[in-house]
Amino acid sequence: MIIALKQDASDDEIARFTAVLEQRGVTVHVSRGTSQTVLGLVGDTSGFDSEAIGAHHLVAKVIRVQEPYKRANRLFHPEDTRISVQSGTEHQIIGGGMLGIIAGPCSVESEDQIIAVAKAVKAAGASFLRGGVFKPRTSPYSFQGMGCEGMNLLAAAKKETALPLVSELMEIHQLEVFDEIDIIQVGARNMQNYNLLKELGKCSKPILLKRGLASTVTELLMAAEYIMAGGNEQVILCERGIRTFENFSRNTLDISVVPWLKQKTHLPVIVDPSHATGIASLVPAAAKAAIAAGADGLIIEVHNDPESALCDGEQSLTPEAFSDLMGTLKKYAEMEGKQF
């Protein structure tokens, strides 16, 4: 249930009203916008009479929320959520008109590789460096990532370029080595690993939650809800292509999910054109489409030598191709009234 308050409701009155509601067994999520305060009630509201609540002198409107996701629902929080990352001297924002451009290799492979890619993507204007060190591979015989050693190399790349870091966490105990990581990625394969999501709800870092290979939008939003219900409201959603009957591309980019998610949730929505297509030559068009569709950012694979990459070379852009794309994306961002 959502309770939109009248504009003249004072902080004291709101606090007293919230306490009365909470005594009835619900949690009240207070969202203060520039013009209106909205109360989001989470829990069992079946015993609440909308008309009786609507008659309260502070209340402008009562809405019953049909969707199972509450905290992620835009009705609960009408304004866009901005994810703010402070890393050393760098301050980056994703959402609310600010685009986050995350770029880097699928996997960290060596010090030379990650430093070279980090410098190149930074020079091209990326705001974050990506690099997997724990890799969820389809085959157990494929490169599984460098593990903890790769973390040290990511830290070195951060020291060199000041770029904040994004890396994938597969198991909760790996958090021990995630000190230098600024945004924790939950991969498509783990989107419904509810124990992992619950643990990340207790974490203070932003979570980049990728849509599962065959997950519906509601399932994605419910996965976000798991993290948010645990207390971590800093969730970035990522469309990375879904499984369909079509197999010319690695996955099918569900571009219309971007405006749909933007309507349904206040959380930032980014797109991964690399895993969505699996083909480097398709990545620029998919990236442009994502920005034109209203995405709040992109996560793009870039490798200094795609042909010898240990993972996902066929979908990785060269630093030159990435730099060209960034020039074009600036124009798309301007058209959308966004900045990066």
Interface with Mn ion (CB under 5 A): 106, 312
- Given ligand PEP, Mn ion, none, residue 3, with its beta carbon under 5 to 8 Å by kind, binds none
Least Å distance between CB 109 and ligand PEP?
13
Q: What's the rounded Cα separation, in Å, for the pair 58 and 108?
A: 55
Of 47, 333, 19, give the one whose Cα is nearest residue 30: 19
Least Å distance between CB 50 and ligand PEP?
41
* Residue placing its CB nearer to ligand PEP in the complex, 5 or 182: 182
Least Å distance between CB 233 and Mn ion?
27
Of 322, 267, 328, 274, give the one whose Cα is nearest residue 295: 267
* Residue placing its CB nearer to ligand PEP in the complex, 188 or 310: 188
Least Å distance between CB 182 and ligand PEP?
16
Least Å distance between CB 193 and ligand PEP?
12
* Residue placing its CB nearer to ligand PEP in the complex, 41 or 296: 296
Where are the alpha helices (H) located in the chain, listed in sequence order?
Answer: 11-23, 50-54, 111-124, 148-161, 194-200, 217-229, 257-264, 273-277, 283-292, 319-335
Least Å distance between CB 216 and Mn ion?
23
Q: What's the rounded Cα separation, in Å, for the pair 110 and 116?
A: 10
What is the contact surface with ligand PEP in residues (CB under 6 A)? 106, 132, 136, 187-189, 210, 240, 272, 275
Which residue matches tokens 């402008």? 60
Contact 199, 171 (CB under 8 A): no
- Given ligand PEP, Mn ion, none, residue 209, with its beta carbon under 5 to 8 Å by kind, binds none
- Given ligand PEP, Mn ion, none, residue 210, with its beta carbon under 5 to 8 Å by kind, binds ligand PEP
Closest-approach residue to ligand PEP (CB): 187
* Residue placing its CB nearer to ligand PEP in the complex, 15 or 148: 148
- Given Mn ion, ligand PEP, none, residue 187, with its beta carbon under 5 to 8 Å by kind, binds ligand PEP
Q: What's the rounded Cα separation, in Å, for the pair 316 and 311?
A: 9
* Residue placing its CB nearer to ligand PEP in the complex, 1 or 106: 106
- The pair phi, psi for residue 119, each rounded to 5°, is -65, -40
- Reduced to 3 states (helix: H, G, I; strand: E, B; else coil), residue 52 is helix
- Given ligand PEP, Mn ion, none, residue 95, with its beta carbon under 5 to 8 Å by kind, binds none
Q: What's the rounded Cα separation, in Å, for the pair 177 and 200?
A: 15
CA atoms within 13 A on the CB side of 120: 24
